[in-house]
A = this chain, B = another copy of it.
């Protein structure tokens, strides 16, 4: 890749791109659903929790609500979902424990090897909407070798706002054009590109269930790859 020498940092979306949130959240909530007699496929519970994710950040993106860390939003979404399902008296400690499901998600099978290879040549950092503590514990859970945790909490904003990308670049001390954004989501990359970042698409076909992931044509982004090992191959790592 011609621009490989110009990159000084790779920034990664995490939920969906690096880790498999659906199966991890499903695994964490299954015993809870059984105990409370909630007759719902744990993966569907995960999908319905996740469906509240983007809307939960929207009032913060627009400035209508002051910035709060992602676990606060995830917990509010959980409480609302449980209310829909008729489970309104779940103790706080149990809610907190369920909420930590987002810190115990398995990496996609190529992720640790791919990141380890990429890290030989480039600093690698999260540019996720996750909070710093959650990203830290998720990395320890799955063995993700980040050099830094950037993104929402550093920027006090949520992707895809301009601030989230550009304050992450600034905190790392790199120009936007020297930052390659890696994501499985077209909207994330479209925003990153509009603010001057390089874009690296990774295909995660099963993110929300079989064959649900975003697709990309060759040439649609600076790099289009099947997985993180292919990104490492293409960047000469």
Contacts and interface: CB of A to CB of B under 8 A. Distances in A.
Contacts of A171: 69, 131-133, 153
Interface stretch (A24-32, A136-144, A213-221, A229-237): A136-144
Nearest to A147: B136
A197 to B, nearest CB: 16
Contacts of A135: 148
Contacts of A150: 132
Main secondary structure of the interface of A (DSSP, over half): helix
B132 A139 contact: no
A123 B137 contact: yes
A225 interface: no
A71 B140 contact: no
Interface in A132-174: 132-137, 139-140, 147-150, 153-154, 171-174
A174 B123 contact: no
Interface of A: 69, 71, 123, 125, 131-137, 139-140, 147-150, 153-154, 171-174
